[in-house]
Structure 1
Amino acid sequence: MKPGETNPERLWTRTRRAAYAEITDIAMRLFLSQGFDATTIDEIASASGISRRSFFRYFGTKEDIVLSDLVREGEEARRALEERPESEPPWTALRNVVLSVSGPSHDHERRLKVTKMMYETPSLRSRCFEKHLQWQEQIVPEVRRRLAGEHAVEQWPDVRARSLVASAIACLDIAGEAWARADGDVPLGELLEAAFDAVGRTREP
């Protein structure tokens, strides 16, 4: 590329990201002010100054707007798990990773409102479950690798790896729901610790 020239692909990417962020922000404001189910895709498109057809170029469903961060958090969890010390048992490593990706938010009130909306809306709960299954597929290979390094040879390493990851995600889901029911008055980290402790005690040899 010659000096002074603009890369069309890079410009297109920046433009798309900016539009994606703007539509997300507008949609979330509508969801939180009038309710998820009461907000239509046509309303979101109109408020964003785009057509309904253009909306579907950015989002597959209305639910994806609310849960888009879950995909990014799944990638963060995978990378964080890979960076945990090899000396940590798989369950301990998973615990530390979940605690890290669920740390304090800079906007506590907004996070609480979004969390409540998710747990009160069946379609969001269902879509969240699908996203968490994606987490499982991302994280299981690293847990399986760590299990292979343990002194005991596992007869069914994939079954145990998937069980550990599914249990960790269940702890996250249960703690999140409890945090929402408590109106955020109890720290999410404290609820996560309680959930992981409960499961950890039942799996101690």
Structure 2
Amino acid sequence: MTDPERLSTREIARVAVRDRLAEVGFELFHREGFDRVTVNDLAAAAGVGRSTFLRYFTSKEDVVLGALETEGQRLAAALAARPGSEDEWTALRRGLDVIVEPYLRDPAKALALTQLILRTPALSAHSLEKQQSWRPRLVAALSARSGATELALSVRAAAALDCLNVAVELWAASDGQRDLVELLDGGFEVLRPR
């Protein structure tokens, strides 16, 4: 089997352990509050030593936000895969479907996670910081489809991410009662180039 996408048994086990540690951590944050929980608390709740825990996560913020690293890569890949006939704005909106999909698949889990992030200043700031790393990837994917300037592409990428953030915030504020896709589509429509 030479498929480069295939994970080794060791990597599958590592991902499973990391996912389990994140699940335990999220439950503890939800119950105790993010600021009251230490790395030692997380390790104890997971039944592992501190050093073992830190092999999987660099910080307690990483327990909640670690997945954001790969989300930027997935978003850029989804944008790059959009049909060349689509305008940049439509391609950006459709590319964001990969980010929205987990919210639709498990709304209760996504809502709890989103509310934890939004209600915890350290997580909220760290989340925005991680999301900033997505923009250059989006600009690179857009530049392959367009002759627009770097400034124009950077502004479009930033505006698309802001539309996502506003939609998610409004969705979370409604306790998941509002339709996230409608909110995102509405935000994109407000800024659609005329």
Shift of 1:100: 4.2
**Paired residues, number:** 187
Distance in 2 of aligned mates of 1:105 and 1:193: 15
Distance in 2 of aligned mates of 1:18 and 1:112: 23
Shift of 1:17: 2.1
Shift of 1:145: 2.1
Distance in 2 of aligned mates of 1:110 and 1:101: 14
Distance in 1 of aligned mates of 2:125 and 2:53: 22
Task: Report % sequence identity.
Answer: 33
Residue segments in structure 1 that go unaligned for 5+ positions in a row? 1-8, 149-153
- What is the aligned partner in structure 1 of residue 3 from structure 2? none
Given the alignment, which residue of 18, 21, 26 partners 1:20? Answer: 18
CA offset digits 1:57-113 (Å, max 9, x no partner):
111121111112222222221111111110111111001111343034332212111
Given the alignment, which residue of 174, 190, 194 partners 1:198? Answer: 190
- What is the aligned partner in structure 1 of residue 4 from structure 2? none
- What is the aligned partner in structure 2 of residue 107 from structure 1? 106
Shift of 1:11: 4.4
Distance in 1 of aligned mates of 2:87 and 2:57: 38
Shift of 1:10: 3.8
Q: TM-score, normalised to structure 2's length?
A: 0.89
Instruction: After TM superposition, list the pairs within 5 Å mapping 1:123-134 onto structure 2.
Output: 123-134=122-133
CA offset digits 1:135-187 (Å, max 9, x no partner):
11222111122222xxxxx4xx1111111111100111111111111111111
- 1:66 partner letter: V
Distance in 2 of aligned mates of 1:142 and 1:188: 25
Distance in 2 of aligned mates of 1:13 and 1:180: 33
- 2:183 partner letter: L
Q: Within the alignment, does 1:37 sit opposite 2:35 as a pair?
A: yes
Distance in 2 of aligned mates of 1:99 and 1:159: 24
SS of aligned partner of 1:147: coil
CA offset digits 1:26-55 (Å, max 9, x no partner):
101111222211222111101112222222
- 1:72 partner letter: T
Instruction: After TM superposition, list the pairs within 5 Å mapping 1:1-205 onto structure 2.
Output: 10-103=8-101, 104-148=103-147, 154=148, 157-200=149-192, 203-204=193-194
**Contact 1:99 1:192 survives alignment (8 Å):** no
Shift of 1:132: 0.8
**Contact 1:41 1:52 survives alignment (8 Å):** yes
Distance in 1 of aligned mates of 2:169 and 2:130: 16
- What is the aligned partner in structure 2 of residue 6 from structure 1? none
Distance in 1 of aligned mates of 2:56 and 2:98: 29
- 4+ residue runs of structure 1 moved beyond 3 angstroms? 9-12
SS of aligned partner of 2:127: helix
Residue segments in structure 2 that go unaligned for 5+ positions in a row? 1-6
